[in-house]
Structure 1
Amino acid sequence: MSDAQTVEVEERDDRFVITLNRPARRNAINAAMIAELHDACARIERDPKPVVLVGRGDDFAGGADIAELRDRRREDALAGINRSLFDRVASLPLPTVAAVSGYALGGGAELSYACDIRIATPTAVFGNPEPGLGILAAAGASYRLPSLVGTSVAKQVLLGGRSLDAEAAQQAGLVLVVVDDHVSAAHRVVDRIVRQSPLALRLTKTILNAPGAHSWADDIAQAVLFETEDKQERMTAFLERKR
């Protein structure tokens, strides 16, 4: 693997495994990683499968690359460089699971927030220290974190400089479970996901991500699913098992 490759993409029959690959820099998110993650998203969008996202080494992602971030100016902020990527990750068609160990800070935390489910090791630490660097967490934390942990805890993190260790993150609902082997646990979650209807999952995720009340959209999505052969086969198999 070349030093320039900051993201490893492994495609399996039923899932993608995306590995952030800058372990010597705690997988800090730089421009090359942003570009490679966009390429990974394009690949996943062409052939949708669930995703396991993990950092190589001890950390998930220790934040944005500060050396690059220091040189960014107004035009870079208005371009939403990190935000547009993380929004794309959040919009991937099928569920995404972040397997988090060590630091998930700044942009690394925001990347984990963009995933649908988070698994953590006891070493995991989530935080957004951006105001200490004279900036704000502008890549999704302001609108994702409150929905994940509630406004009060989000303000403690984004305004009060609080970091959430693994236990606090689980208590706040940010992570599903805290385990020593986070990658295996993430794959077990995906094992459950892939046994479900891909179209039902895709429509459910779309509905969940849509803002506001949308009962009419639920009805339309359900109408589509009611007409599928997959629904008929799954329900028939369920009824036959009950007999």
Structure 2
Amino acid sequence: MSAVQEGRAGTSTALLVDEREDRVVARIDGPATRNAIDAALVEQLHELCARLEEEPKVLVLAGGDGVFASGADIRQLRERRREDALRGINSGVFDRIAKLPLPSIAAVDGHALGGGAELAYACDFRIATGRTRFGNPEAGLGIMAAAGATWRLRELVGEPLAKEVLLAGRVLDAGECLAAHLVTEVVEVDDLLPAAHRLADRVLRNGELALRLTKLALRVPAGAHPAFDDVAQAVLFETEEKERRMTAFLERKRAHRTPDAGGASTTGTDEGGRR
């Protein structure tokens, strides 16, 4: 399906959406402002989230050539006051992305700064190119990174490194991001979207309900475990999907069994680790 522009006429940043059968590829397009996260883009991200909540699909979110997103539009940000902060303009939509039913993948080429970095942190996976840079320079502008960085980045890379980024203005290059597990891999620029699709393919080989409940399990408070996990597993144990997948697994094992391996067990996990 060809890309469909979901932007608004006259705005500086648009979201170009390519909706496919099992995934959505959305590209931030605002070259004049280096993909600044302005009010129009926030609105478009909300609209995209509404569609993905209604019809769950994997999301691949990308930027332009050499910049993922440069953060909030400083001209708009300078005019915001207390009431605007309390509305959670960016934090609200980033939280919505983090809570999408199925996983999201940020394909990051070039700079992901400020709100742009926080947008990528909200995704479940991040893939980078060699020219990727992550940073949160908000304190240098007299504000804080209030759209998720103070806790999402800490969870992703640990508190010491998060403090260097948030308090000392450290910008992480692609190699540092990979070493800190902030990104899953670093690829050539031309391979960025193909790599994101390969990751999406691996994700989509799993059961949809299992993915959704696992995402929920990763997000619930520590005190909700193991009770939440037991209830979620109880739901999954009763599904036709579980029966079909486990039956297919056992049939594959029987088909590949050789005469001298007749005593081999068919229990345990397959190569993907699914039990």
The TM tier, using the shorter chain, reads over 0.9
Stretch of structure 1 that moved more, 205-214 or 78-87: 205-214
Instruction: Answer yes or no: is the 8 Å Cα contact 2:65–2:110 preserved in 1.
Output: no
Q: Is 1:227 matched with 2:238?
A: yes
Deviation of 1:57 (Å): 2.4
- Kept in 1: contact 2:69–2:111 (CA 8 A): yes
Task: Find out whether 1:101 has 2:112 as its counterpart.
Answer: no
Question: How much does 1:10 deviate?
Answer: 1.5
Q: Deviations over 1:5-63 (max 9, x none)?
A: 61112210010111111122211100000011101110111100111000122210011
Q: Distance in 2 between matches of 1:68 and 1:120?
A: 28
What is the aligned-residue RMSD (CA, Å)?
Answer: 1.0
Using the size of structure 1 for normalisation, the TM-score is: 0.98
Mapped to 1, the partners of 2:193 and 2:140 lie a distance apart of: 31
User: What TM-score does the superposition give when structure 2 sets the normalisation length?
Assistant: 0.87
Which of 195, 215, 218 pairs up with 1:205?
215
Structure 1: any 5+ residue segments left out of the alignment? none
Output one character per residue of 1:201-231: Cα deviation in whole Å (capped at 9) or x when no partner. 0000011011224110000000000000000
Q: Report sequence identity in percent.
A: 60
Moved over 6 A (4+): none
Q: What pairs with 1:1-243 in structure 2 (closer than 5 Å)? A: 4=11, 6-180=14-188, 181-213=191-223, 214-243=225-254
Shift of 1:3: 5.3
- Mark the structure with the bigger radius of gyration: 2
Would the aligned equivalents of 2:72 and 2:114 in 1 still touch at CA under 8 Å?
Answer: yes
What is the identity, as a one-letter code, of the residue corresponding to 1:235? M
Deviation at residue 195 of structure 1 after TM alignment: 1.1
Q: Which has the higher contact order (CA 8 A, sep 6+)?
A: 1
- Give the aligned partner of residue 267 of structure 2: none
Gaps of 5+ in 2: 255-275
- Which amino acid is the alignment partner of residue 189 of structure 1? L
Aligned residue identity for 2:250: L
